[in-house]
Amino acid sequence: MEWEFDTLTLPRDFSRNVVTRMLVERAEVGGWELDRLRIGNDGVRRVVLRRKIIRARLTLFG
């Protein structure tokens, strides 16, 4: 299985509710899921999202 990753860096002044809404929207619209969330000592959130790469295959009927 192959995954596509996206990294976000969110400043500390974003509230928990704002971050939650942003991540939920990306999950619903883009099909992303949370892979990793780290909160640094400075309060900056580093978020890694992932989604499956679906490859189309050529099928021949004969």
**Prediction pTM value:** 0.82
- What pLDDT band is residue 55 in, cutting at 50, 70 and 90? confident
Span 21-29, average pLDDT: 96
**pLDDT band at residue 25 using 50, 70 and 90 as cut-offs:** very high
What CA–CA distance (Å, rounded) separates 36 from 55? 24
Q: What is the helix (H) or strand (E) element at residue 36, kind and residue range?
A: strand 33-39
Asked if residue 10 has pLDDT above 90, the reply is: yes
pLDDT of residue 62: 56
